[in-house]
Amino acid sequence: MGLSSFFKNLFGSAKNTATEITKQVENSIEETKTKAEPYIEKAEEIIEETVSKIKETTTPYVEKTEAILQETAAKIKETATPQIEKAEAILDETVAKAKETATPYIEKAESILEEAKVKGTEVINSLKEKEKENLSDTKEPDTPTKKEENPE
């Protein structure tokens, strides 16, 4: 029995020691949290102040940048508008000249196409008439048909 009580004491005391260490660690953590709290609050205040100072410092620069961008956009519009209008005028002139130059050729082409259509129609009609004539010539009027051969 001495051996079993030895192991019980050995493991029992280890369990007690572990429990005590756990309690000490928990207490240390709580103490650390309590002691760190003022520093955390101070750090939060410093961060808030820094953000506020950054906003105060950068606001005039942001406003100045916005003003410069608006001025630049206005200058670009002023400079580009005459150039755009000039390009539009040149484009309109070019289109008008192209129409003027192409009109006689287009009219001539339309005329040729119309003539070709008329001639084509005439040729087709002529061929149809010839075909009708050939069909009527190939029929032999003296040859009796089957109904005429067997009069019953």
pLDDT digits (tens, 9 = 90+) for 55-64: 899 999 999 9
**In the prediction, which pLDDT does 142 show?**
54
Q: What is the mean pLDDT of residues 24-33?
A: 89
**Eight-class DSSP state of 26:** H
C-alpha span between 60 and 149 (Å, rounded): 119
pLDDT of residue 72: 94
Task: Dig out the tokens for 75 from the structure.
Answer: 């200058």
Block residue for tokens 């007690």: 16
- Asked whether the predicted pLDDT for residue 151 surpasses 90, the reply is no
Distance CA 122, CA 58 (A): 88
